[in-house]
C-alpha cells in the first residue's frame, strides 16, 4: 500500500474584534476573540488522510494525531487549529488508499484506530509524549523494534489532567528474528521523570498493584508476535494518591476463566498460580502407521513461471586461452563513497578494531557502537591493558579518529582520546572508565560540537559523566573548554 506525505499550506487567520452594542433580555453579550491557524492541503479522491501536529519536528516521537479524513473526494481539505500568536506549530499529513467501499457510519461502539509514530530512542518508548496532553480515547497501533533486549513503554502518569478516566487500547506488533524476541514491559515514570512509580499499575491478571507489567514475555521463537492491551485510567481529580492504570491482556485473566499459556512449536506451557511457568509439554502424538496408497488424482493445470533460482556453483577452470591484444586505457572513475562491510549484522571494520584494540587514525562516521568496549593498545603478558598504566604514551591513546554522527550506548571508551571528532554523536548510558588514574578519562583537542550526553531514568544512580577531563576541547554548545565534568 503506497503512502503519500505532504505538508499542508498554513494561512494565519486573525479574527477581527468588533464592539457591538446590543441589548438582549437586559444583558450585553460578550465576544471572545481567539487566535488560530488555518491549515489547507490538497486531497486525492479515494484516499484516507491522517493529520498530525508537533512543536518540535526534530523529536521523532512527538507527533500527535489530530484527526482522520476518510474517503476524500479530491477537493481541498481545510481545518482550523487554535494556537498562541507566538507559538510555532508544525503539521504533517499521511495519506493511504481507502478501501474499495466507503466505511459505514460509525456507531458509538466503533473504536477509532490510530497509528503511532515509531520511536527512535533504543530501549524505551514514551507514550505520553506521543499522545500529548489532550489524548483521545481509542486504539493505537505501535511497532516494537526487533531484538532480544527488554523494551519499556512509558505510560503517562495516571494523575495527569488529560488522562483522568480515559480508556486506551495498545495494539503491539513485534517482529522476531533468529535470536528470539525480548520482553515488552509497561512502567510509569514519576512526575519529575527521575525514577519509576512502584504502585501505579494494576495487573488485572494477578489482581495486584505493581511497578511494572510484562505484556510480552521473552521467547526463543523466531516468529512475529502481536498483542492487544486494554488500559483503563482508574483516576479522578479528587484521588489523593493519583490513581492507577488498570492493565488487562487477552489470554492472561482479568475476570475470565482462561489460563495464561504460551506455545513453542507443538509444545504448550501453562502459568502456575504463583506466576511461574510450567515445563513445555509436547502435545504431538506418536507417528501413525503409513496409510494405503491413494489413487492418482487428475493432472493439474500448469503453474505460473517460478522466480529465477539462485546462481549455481562455479564450474571447473577451463583451458587458458591465448593472450589477447591490450585494450586502450580507460578513464579514471570518480572516488566512491566510503562503504561498510557486514557479516551477520556486525560491521567488519568495527569488529576488526575491537579484536586488534586499534581505534586510532580511523574514519568511523555514523556507526552504531552499542555494547562495544573501546580499548587502545596491546595486552601485557599478565592480561592487563598497557594503556591503563602508560596513559601518556600516544601509542595507548585513541588519536586522529573521526566518529562523527555515531551512536554510543551501553558500552564504554576505556582509553584517552586526542585530536578526535565526536561531532553530533549521542552518548546514551555510555561508560567512560574512571580507571586507576585521575587522568584516565582524558580528552585532548577533541570536538564534541552538537553531541548529546544522556542517561535513562534510574541509570544516573550509578553512572555519571562528572569524572571526565577535557583539555582544549570544543563542547556541544560550540564553546572551547578545559576542566573536569561537563560544563
pLDDT of 184-214, one tens digit each?
A: 898 999 988 889 998 888 888 888 889 899 9
Mean pLDDT in residue range 25-39:
60
Report DSSP letters for 116-174, one per residue.
PPPP-STTEEEHHHHH-SS---EEEEEEPPPSSS-EEEEPPPTT-GGGTT-EEEEEEEE
Is residue 182 in a domain? yes
Residues 211 and 229 grouped into a single domain: yes
Question: What confidence category does residue 473 fall into, taking pLDDT thresholds of 50, 70 and 90?
Answer: very high
Confidence check: pLDDT of 388 > 60: no
pLDDT at 419: 94
pLDDT at 9: 34
User: What is the distance between the alpha carbons of residues 140 and 143, in angstroms, rounded to a whole number?
Assistant: 10
Is residue 216 in a domain? yes
Residues 377 and 356 grouped into a single domain: yes
Is residue 311 in a domain? no
Of 254, 269, 300, at which residue does a domain stop? 254
Mind listing the pLDDT tens digit for each residue in 109-143? 455 677 777 666 678 888 888 887 777 777 888 88
Confidence check: pLDDT of 380 > 50: no
Question: What confidence category does residue 455 fall into, taking pLDDT thresholds of 50, 70 and 90?
Answer: confident
Is residue 14 in a domain? yes
Confidence check: pLDDT of 5 > 70: no
User: What is the distance between the alpha carbons of residues 179 and 475, in angstroms, rounded to a whole number?
Assistant: 39
Residues 366 and 430 grouped into a single domain: yes
pLDDT at 448: 95
Stronger pLDDT, 377 or 7, i.e. the higher one = 377
pLDDT at 342: 58
Looking up residue 90, the CATH number of its domain turns out to be 2.60.40
- Using alpha carbons only, what angle is made at residue 243 by residues 240 and 248, rounded to the nearest 5 degrees? 170
Percent of the chain's residues with pLDDT above 70? 74
Give residue for cell 492493565: 247
Residues 94 and 152 grouped into a single domain: no
Give residue for cell 467501499: 101
What is the residue-averaged pLDDT of the chain?
75
User: What is the distance between the alpha carbons of residues 431 and 412, in angstroms, rounded to a whole number?
Assistant: 4
Written as nine digits, the cell of 343 is: 557479516
Is residue 286 in a domain? no
Task: Please state the domain count of the chain.
Answer: 3
pLDDT at 349: 81
Mind listing the pLDDT tens digit for each residue in 347-376? 788 888 888 888 899 999 999 988 888 888
Of 254, 279, 302, at which residue does a domain stop? 254
Stronger pLDDT, 247 or 109, i.e. the higher one = 247
Q: Looking at 224-238, 382-396, 406-420, 436-450, which range is the least confident one?
A: 382-396
Residues 6+ apart with CB under 8 A from 415: 359, 374, 375, 376, 377, 385, 387, 396, 397, 398
User: What is the distance between the alpha carbons of residues 262 and 267, in angstroms, rounded to a whole number?
Assistant: 9
- Using alpha carbons only, what angle is made at residue 453 by residues 190 and 395, rounded to the nearest 5 degrees? 145
Residues 354 and 441 grouped into a single domain: yes
Is residue 404 in a domain? yes
Confidence check: pLDDT of 471 > 70: yes
Confidence check: pLDDT of 423 > 90: yes
Taking a C-beta distance cutoff of 8 angstroms, is the pair 223, 215 a contact? no
Terminal CA-CA length for the chain: 49
pLDDT at 24: 34
Largest CA distance in the chain: 113
Confidence check: pLDDT of 288 > 90: no
Instruction: Tell me which residue of 108, 106, 109, 173 sits closest to 145, measured CA to CA.
Output: 173
Stronger pLDDT, 175 or 121, i.e. the higher one = 175
pLDDT at 104: 46
Residues 215 and 150 grouped into a single domain: yes
Stronger pLDDT, 53 or 35, i.e. the higher one = 53
Is residue 6 in a domain? yes
pLDDT at 350: 83
Question: What confidence category does residue 233 fall into, taking pLDDT thresholds of 50, 70 and 90?
Answer: confident
Phi, psi of 108 (to 5 degrees): -70, -15
pLDDT at 10: 35
Of 220, 254, 288, at which residue does a domain stop? 254
Q: Looking at 246-255, 273-282, 460-469, which range is the least confident one?
A: 246-255
pLDDT at 71: 77
Residues 121 and 61 grouped into a single domain: no
Residues 94 and 124 grouped into a single domain: no
pLDDT at 418: 92
Taking a C-beta distance cutoff of 8 angstroms, is the pair 416, 441 a contact? yes
User: What is the distance between the alpha carbons of residues 393 and 380, in angstroms, rounded to a whole number?
Assistant: 15
Residues 478 and 412 grouped into a single domain: yes
Confidence check: pLDDT of 385 > 70: no
Residues 70 and 159 grouped into a single domain: no
Residues 136 and 88 grouped into a single domain: no
pLDDT at 475: 94
Which one of 3-7, 159-163, 279-283, 356-360 scores highest in mean pLDDT? 356-360
Is residue 292 in a domain? no
Domain range enclosing 422: 345-484
Residues 67 and 155 grouped into a single domain: no
Amino acid at each position: 500500500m503506497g503512502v503519500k506525505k505532504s505538508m499542508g499550506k498554513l494561512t494565519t487567520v486573525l479574527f477581527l474584534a468588533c464592539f457591538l452594542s446590543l441589548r438582549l433580555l437586559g444583558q450585553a453579550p460578550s465576544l471572545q476573540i481567539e487566535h488560530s491557524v488555518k491549515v489547507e492541503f490538497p486531497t486525492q479522491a479515494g484516499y484516507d488522510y491522517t493529520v498530525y501536529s508537533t512543536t518540535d519536528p526534530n523529536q521523532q516521537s512527538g507527533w500527535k494525531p489530530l484527526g482522520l479524513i476518510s474517503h476524500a473526494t479530491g477537493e481541498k481539505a481545510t481545518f482550523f487549529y487554535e494556537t498562541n500568536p507566538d507559538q510555532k506549530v508544525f503539521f504533517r499529513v499521511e495519506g493511504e488508499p481507502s478501501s474499495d467501499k466507503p466505511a459505514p457510519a460509525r456507531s458509538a461502539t466503533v473504536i477509532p484506530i490510530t497509528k503511532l509514530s515509531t520511536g527512535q530512542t533504543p530501549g524505551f518508548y514514551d507514550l505520553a509524549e506521543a499522545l500529548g496532553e489532550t489524548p483521545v480515547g481509542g486504539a493505537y497501533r505501535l511497532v516494537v523494534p526487533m531484538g532480544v533486549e527488554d523494551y519499556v513503554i512509558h505510560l503517562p502518569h495516571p494523575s495527569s489532567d488529560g488522562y483522568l478516566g480515559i480508556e486506551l487500547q495498545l495494539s503491539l506488533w513485534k517482529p522476531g528474528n533468529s535470536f528470539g524476541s525480548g520482553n515488552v514491559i509497561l512502567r510509569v515514570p514519576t512526575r519529575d521523570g527521575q525514577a519509576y512509580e512502584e504502585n501505579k499499575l494494576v495487573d488485572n491478571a494477578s489482581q495486584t498493584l505493581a511497578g511494572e507489567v510484562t505484556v510480552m514475555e521473552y521467547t526463543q521463537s523466531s516468529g512475529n508476535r502481536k498483542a492487544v492491551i486494554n488500559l483503563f485510567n482508574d483516576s479522578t481529580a479528587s484521588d489523593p494518591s493519583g490513581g492507577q492504570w488498570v492493565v488487562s491482556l487477552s489470554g492472561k485473566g482479568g475476570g475470565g476463566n482462561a489460563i495464561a499459556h504460551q506455545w513453542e512449536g507443538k509444545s504448550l506451557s501453562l502459568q502456575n498460580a504463583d506466576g511461574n511457568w510450567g515445563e513445555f509439554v509436547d502435545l504431538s502424538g506418536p507417528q501413525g502407521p503409513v496409510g494405503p496408497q491413494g489413487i492418482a488424482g487428475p493432472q493439474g493445470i500448469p503453474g505460473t513461471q517460478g522466480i529465477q533460482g539462485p546462481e549455481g556453483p562455479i564450474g571447473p577452470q577451463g583451458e587458458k586461452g591465448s593472450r589477447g591484444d591490450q585494450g586502450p586505457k580507460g578513464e579514471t572513475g570518480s572516488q566512491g563513497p566510503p562503504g561498510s562491510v557486514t557479516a551477520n549484522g556486525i560491521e567488519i571494520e568495527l569488529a576488526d578494531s575491537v579484536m586488534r584494540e586499534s581505534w586510532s587514525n580511523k574514519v568511523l562516521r555514523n556507526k552504531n557502537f552499542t555494547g562495544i568496549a573501546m580499548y587502545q593498545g596491546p595486552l601485557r603478558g599478565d592480561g592487563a591493558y598497557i594503556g591503563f598504566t602508560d596513559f601518556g604514551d600516544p601509542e595507548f591513546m585513541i588519536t586522529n579518529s573521526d566518529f562523527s554522527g555515531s551512536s554510543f550506548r551501553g558500552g564504554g571508551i576505556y582509553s584517552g582520546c586526542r585530536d578526535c571528532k565526536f561531532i553530533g554523536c549521542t552518548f546514551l548510558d555510555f561508560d567512560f572508565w574512571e580507571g586507576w588514574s585521575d587522568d584516565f578519562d582524558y580528552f585532548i583537542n577533541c570536538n564534541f560540537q552538537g553531541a548529546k550526553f544522556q542517561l535513562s531514568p534510574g541509570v544516573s544512580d550509578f553512572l555519571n559523566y562528572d569524572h571526565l577531563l577535557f583539555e582544549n576541547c570544543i563542547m556541544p554548545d560550540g564553546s572551547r573548554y578545559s576542566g573536569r565534568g561537563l560544563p
